[in-house]
């Protein structure tokens, strides 16, 4: 009888105070990661669209300097001899 009471007390307290485990499957975590990546891609696209609008207002000299400094063709990288100094040109 004593053992039955202890077993009942043990299982009862476990049921009352125990934490239930939420089942998280690989599919759930994968869908969460995909949603996170999609969110990041949307932010990057939004930034690109906004920056393209800003770049449209640049002078031809500033556009040329930007292209010479930051745009590279595939297989060809120019490493500057001194650090890039990009002055605030409005």
Tens-digit pLDDT profile for residues 2-57 = 665 555 555 555 555 555 555 656 777 777 788 888 889 999 999 999 999 999 99
Supply the pTM of this predicted model. 0.45
What is d(CA 43, CA 5) in angstroms, rounded to the nearest whole number? 60
pLDDT of 85 reads 79
Query: Which residues fall within 8 angstroms of residue 13, CB to CB, at 6 or more apart?
Result: none
pLDDT for 58-86, tens place per residue?
999 888 888 877 777 788 777 778 887 77
What is d(CA 59, CA 48) in angstroms, rounded to the nearest whole number? 19
pLDDT of 17 reads 55
Q: How far is CA 42 from CA 2, 32, 45, 52, in A?
A: 64, 15, 5, 15
pLDDT of 57 reads 93
Residue 89 DSSP symbol: -
């Amino acid at each position: 009888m004593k053992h039955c009471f202890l077993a009942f007390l043990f299982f009862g307290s476990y049921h009352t105070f125990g934490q239930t485990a939420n089942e998280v499957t690989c599919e759930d975590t994968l869908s969460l990661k995909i949603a996170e990546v999609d969110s990041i891609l949307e932010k990057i696209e939004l930034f690109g669209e906004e920056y393209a609008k800003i770049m449209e207002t640049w002078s031809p000299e500033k556009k040329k300097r930007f292209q010479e400094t930051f745009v590279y063709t595939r297989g060809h990288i120019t490493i500057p001899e001194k650090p890039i100094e990009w002055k605030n040109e409005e």
